[in-house]
Chain A
Amino acid sequence: MEPLIEMKEISKNFGGVKALENVNLTIYPGEVHCLAGENGCGKSTLIKVLSGVHTPDHGEIFINKKRYKRLHTQESIQEGIQVIYQDFSVFPNLTVKENLAMGYEMSNNKKLVNWKLFEKIAKQALETIDVDIDINEKVENLSVADKQLIAIARSLLFNARLIVMDEPTTALTDKEVQSLFNVISNLKRKGISILFVSHKLEEIFTIAERATILRNGKNVTEQLISELDTNQLIYHMTGREIKETTYESEFNENQKPLLKLKNFGLKYMFADVNLEIYPGDIVGVTGTLGSGRTELAEAIFGIAASDSGTMEINGEEAKIKNPRQAVKRKIVYVPEDRLTKGLILEQSIERNIIISTVENLLKKFRLISDNKVKNSVDYWIKNLGIVAKFPKRNVSVLSGGNQQKVVLSKWLASEPDILILNSPTVGVDIGSKEEIHEVIKEQARKGMGVILISDDIPELKQNCNKIVTMDKGKVISIDHISEYAMSR
């Protein structure tokens, strides 16, 4: 059979980040093809090259044998490629019906808006995936799941030859996922190809026929799903066997907890969280998107302060209303989104490292001491092995792993008692990933308490001594690592 899509030797860099290096991808008509890999391995970037959002630095794309050096978004749409973007790509200021119908009508070269028709199209789109959303509501007022459903419904309207789904299930319930899978089967029957992107193994095994696996922006393998088992898939994605190493706290349990949450809650977000963090603990927190784990972390750090229950720090009751108070109480947080929340990309590596400790680097008259800054920056660059020759350059030139180490050093410099990390190894190469894990464990051994939030269960199993599972804003289990391993 002739391939529908052939991407050859695609490379793409962002500043210092090599997102794709000579990646190949082939998709045949009517197949459900899975693009798999860990977070940050370049899946979304590859898709954006295919949809014309990114211009590749190198490589070529064939669609039905027609060769493109680069695609424009319109060309890609006209070639019958529809994409459900990971970030949904919806318009918050427009109504549901417009979000659904506008792109479709534009691709039909309509110049005028027929609102009646818009309504009809929108209703029909929602029917195909069997959901009920008020089509006159503005999208900014919808829940995350509804936004994702709209992104899905929108792509199904088109007479597409290939529908690309970039992690389309992150916010969906099991029932919604099931109905999406039914839709995919129907599409396949009609001869439409699906490129399904996921790092969730169950989904891959349920729906896909063939898989292309990426690791660190490079091809690892392309195989039929039937020829793969779970362990092999994990091996291809992560580049290592599941090691049975585990982490145990070396501190005894009779100590005072560093942090104690009692019935901790935040309206609409999470409730009744009871949790104790002792010196030496690395507590893993897991749960789906929308389980409240990020909100919990951000409440501890004071981004959106909790409004019920109590928090004790070193046995003393404390109220933390903003991040500054948290930092003062020696609680720090590495956010999930490194590029917009963790780092200030337009500023230098040096400034990003010293930002939280600059008050300790002053001389007379509160002037910043260049010497102290240099010493501190040099120390952290060396200590965490950050590959950065020129600390005065923008932090955006660094690779993902080095960027994350900059975020870490910013906080380690402030000598925290509690370190909260939200998906700290997403978009980080394997080498740096292990280095980051080592740093975390080393800090814990020195008596720090760590909360490690992650989707990556093997990561948690290898690095945590306790694992908390959250769902819909509640803690559903807290297991010691040995019990956790058995329960799965």
Chain B
Amino acid sequence: MSNPLHVNEDKKQGRFNLNKDFIDKYGDLTLLFFIMISVFAIMAIINPNVFLSQGMMLSIANQFPILGLLTLAMMFAMVSGGIDLSVVSTANLSAIMASIIMVQYIPADASAGVTTLYILLSIVCALLVGCVAGLFNGILVSVVGIPAIIVTLGTMQLYMGIALVLTKGKSIVGLPTIVSEVGAGTLFGIPFPLIIFIMFVIFSYFVLNLRDYGLKLQMTGSNPTASKFSGINVTSITIKAYVISGLLAAVAGLLMTAATNAAKADFGTTYLLQAILVAVMGGVNPYGGRGKVAGVVMAVITMQILSSGLGMLQVSNFFKDFMWGTVLIIVLLANLFYNKKISKLS
């Protein structure tokens, strides 16, 4: 390194690369952040009176947690290198379990305390059902070795099938009033669903981005063979990802029940595709191995702002579909060109 020219060159390259390091790490998130802010600003400018009203903010805050949780569920499966098409079926099945307990087992003359106890029990049951559903997916994927898309395509039918059999195809109504009261309630002015969502965002962030499990999951998702050759227990890591996915889906199912005061086998089926779209928009790699909770959260908020904002402009739901698809394709293209640029730089 005695050649001064050499040192110079190195330095230049160094500075350049430092920026690149930042882009590598936060580039996609910054972009998402600006998109989120701009969408918000555009909506606020178009119709500030309606959009910035408390009612609108509340309705946004009430709506996106369900999709948000389902997207987080999808994210775990996708980071593991698979996909979970059964999230909505799992959500409904769990909600139905809880509802059956609440409707059939709570004695008519139960006191408030007893009712609460039963509700807690039903919640635990729902979460258990979600975990078991995920466990079954995970075993079929990583032990039996069926491709994830096929497994969850099958269990999507199977879980919805079980839900249909349990309910004979009808919806379950007549839940204790406290359920919808809590569902519509607030704590310190924050809507209850949003609180739950924030809790599970923090949970997901810990699990996926801070703890050793998350690192191993990402490695497994990128390359299961090399991960196995690195001493990672690929089977158990993958199964856990599906269990977490099932758990998050179950929470989403409970929120759906709280929001509608009912449970049905085929509620919310449109959420499935939306969850995949939002996950990809949020930077989850469809080939596995990469995903950031922050990205998913921003993507789901952006889509909800867009969707509510367009609702305010009274466009049809179909236009929203059109827009979802368009945004997804644009995101895919943007990623493509962004990655091409990055690889040209190196």
State if A and B touch, Cβ cutoff 8 Å.
yes
- When the two chains form the complex, which single residue of A323, A355, A390 contacts B17, counting CB atoms closer than 8 Å? A390
A335 in contact with B229 given A346-B289, A366-B211 (CB within 8 Å): yes
List of B residues within 8 angstroms of A16 by Cβ: 346
With contacts A344-B222, A345-B223, A393-B24 taken as known, whether A356 is within 8 angstroms of B289 at the C-beta atoms is no
- When distances are taken between beta carbons in the complex, the residues of chain B under 8 Å from A351 are 215, 218-219
The answer to whether A355 and B233 touch (CB under 8 A), given A344-B226, A389-B14, is: no
B232 and A355: CB pair below 8 A? Answer: yes
CA distance A323 to B228 in the complex (A): 7
B210 touches A389 (CB 8 A): no
B223 touches A359 (CB 8 A): no
Residue A362, interface by CB 8 Å: yes
How near does chain A come to B151, taking the closest CB pair, in angstroms? 22
- Which residues 349-377 of A sit at the B interface, judged by CB distance below 8 A? 351, 355-356, 358-359, 361-362, 365-368
CB distance from B312 to the nearest CB of A (A): 41
Q: Which residues of A contact B240 (CB under 8 A)?
A: none
Q: Chain B residues near A327: list those with CB within 8 A.
A: 231
Within 8 A of A (CB), among B302-346: 346
Are A390 and B21 neighbours in the complex by a CB distance under 8 Å?
Answer: yes
Chain A 161-181 interface 0/1 with B at a Cβ cutoff of 8 Å (1 = within): 000000000000000000000
> Which residues from A are CB-within-8-Å of B206?
365, 367
The answer to whether B222 and A347 touch across the interface, beta carbons within 8 angstroms, is yes
Q: Tell me the bound Cα distance from A389 to B16 in angstroms.
A: 12
Set of chain B residues within 8 Å of A390, measured between Cβ atoms: 17, 20-21
Q: Are B218 and A347 in contact (CB under 8 A)?
A: yes
**A393–B225 Cα gap in the complex (Å)?**
21
B201-228: CB near A (< 8 Å → 1, else 0) gives 0000010001111011011001101111
Chain A: CB-nearest residue to B224: A344
CA distance A389 to B14 in the complex (A): 8
Given known contacts A324-B231, A324-B233, A356-B231, is B211 in contact with A341 (CB within 8 Å)? no
Contacts of A260 in B (CB 8 A): none
A340's contact among B24, B213, B216, B223, by CB below 8 Å, is which?
A: B223
Tell me the residues in window 1-59 of chain B with beta carbons closer than 8 Å to chain A beta carbons: 14, 17, 20-21, 24-25
Which residues of A sit under 8 angstroms from B212, Cβ to Cβ?
Answer: 358-359, 361-362, 366, 368
Q: Given the known A-B contacts A358-B212, A389-B14, A392-B25, are A15 and B226 also in contact in the complex, defined by CB atoms under 8 Å? A: no
State whether A393 and B222 are in contact (beta carbons under 8 Å apart), knowing that A335-B229, A355-B232, A366-B211 are contacts in the complex. no
The one of A346, A361, A362, A410 that contacts B223, using a Cβ cutoff of 8 Å: A346
B346 touches A15 (CB 8 A): yes
A55 nearest CB across to chain B (Å) = 15
Contact of A392 among B24, B219, B228, B232 (CB under 8 A): B24
Q: How far is the CA of A393 from the CA of B18 in the complex (A)?
A: 11
B215–A368 CB distance below 8 A: yes
List residues of A (309-335) whose CB comes within 8 Å of B's CBs: 322-324, 326-327, 332-333, 335
Task: Say yes or no: is A342 at the interface (Cβ < 8 Å to chain B).
Answer: yes
> CA of A365 to CA of B212 in the docked complex: distance in angstroms?
10
B211 is contacted by which of A356, A368, A392, A397 (Cβ under 8 Å)? A368
Chain B, Cβ-Cβ closest to A354: B215
- Minimal Cβ-Cβ distance residue in B for A359: B212
Tell me whether B230 and A355 are in contact (CB under 8 A). Answer: yes
Given A324-B231, A358-B216, A392-B24, A341–B346 Cβ distance below 8 Å?
Answer: no
Q: Is the CB–CB distance between B231 and A323 below 8 Å?
A: yes
Taking chain B's interface residues, is the majority helix, strand, or loop, or is none over half, making it mixed? helix
Residue in B21, B212, B213, B218 with the greatest tally of chain A CB atoms within 10 Å: B212
Q: Pick the contact of A393 from B21, B226, B229 — CB < 8 Å?
A: B21
A335 to B216, CA, bound (A): 19
Shortest distance between the CB of A58 and any CB in chain B (Å): 16
Closest Cβ of chain A to B224, distance in Å, is 10
B24 and A341 contacting across the interface, CB-CB below 8 Å: no
Contacts of B232 in A (CB 8 A): 324, 355
Chain B positions within 8 Å of A340 at CB level: 223, 225-226
Residues of chain B within 8 A of A346, CB atoms compared: 222-223, 289-290
Contacts of A269 in B (CB 8 A): none
**Closest chain A CB from B22 CB (angstroms):** 10
Min CB–CB distance A17 → chain B (angstroms): 12
Q: A347-B218, A389-B17, A390-B21 are in contact. Are A303 and B211 (CB under 8 A)?
A: no
With a CB–CB cut-off of 8 A, which chain B residues contact A323?
A: 228-231
Answer whether residue A343 sits at the interface, using C-beta atoms and an 8 A cutoff. Answer: yes
Contact residues, B127-168 vs A (CB, 8 A): none
Taking CB atoms, residues of chain B closer than 8 Å to A362 are: 212
CB nearest to B233 among chain A residues = A324
| Assembled-state Cα–Cα distance A359/B212 (Å) | 7
Residues of A within 8 A of B289 (CB): 344, 346-347
| A residues in contact with B218, CB < 8 Å | 347, 351
Question: Contact at B21–A344, with CB atoms within 8 Å?
Answer: no
Instruction: Give CA–CA (A434, B233) in the complex, Å.
Output: 33
Chain B residues with CB under 8 Å of A333's CB are 229
Q: Mark A16-50, 1 if CB is under 8 A from B, else 0.
A: 10000000000000000000000000000000000
User: What distance in Å separates the Cβ of B321 from its nearest Cβ neighbour in chain A?
Assistant: 32
Among candidates A15, A341, A361, A397, residue contacting B225 with C-beta atoms closer than 8 Å: A341
B210 touching A368, Cβ below 8 Å: yes
CB distance from A215 to the nearest CB of B (A): 25
Other-chain contact of B346, A332, A356, A397 (Cβ < 8 Å):
A397
Q: Which residues of B contact A341 (CB under 8 A)?
A: 225-226, 229
A368 to B208, CA, bound (A): 11
Contacting B226 at CB < 8 Å: which of A343, A358, A365?
A: A343
Measured between beta carbons, the chain B residues less than 8 angstroms from A15 are 346
- Rounded to whole angstroms, the CA-CA distance of A365 and B202 in the bound complex is 14
Q: Are B219 and A347 in contact (CB under 8 A)?
A: yes
For B209, the closest partner residue in chain A by CB is A368
Interface on A for B, CB 8 Å cutoff? 15-16, 303, 322-324, 326-327, 332-333, 335, 340-347, 351, 355-356, 358-359, 361-362, 365-368, 389-390, 392-393, 397, 410, 414
Some 14 contacts from A to B, beta carbons below 8 A apart, are: A323-B231, A326-B231, A343-B226, A346-B223, A346-B290, A347-B218, A351-B219, A355-B230, A356-B230, A356-B231, A358-B212, A359-B212, A365-B211, A390-B20
Chain B interface residues (CB < 8 Å from chain A): 14, 17, 20-21, 24-25, 206, 210-213, 215-216, 218-219, 222-223, 225-233, 289-290, 346
Q: Which 3 A-B pairs have the closest CB atoms?
A: A327-B231, A346-B222, A344-B223
Taking A335-B229, A367-B211 as known contacts, 17 extra A-B pairs with beta carbons closer than 8 A to each other, sorted by chain A number, are A15-B346, A16-B346, A322-B233, A323-B230, A324-B232, A327-B231, A340-B225, A342-B226, A344-B227, A345-B223, A347-B289, A355-B219, A356-B231, A366-B211, A367-B206, A389-B17, A397-B346
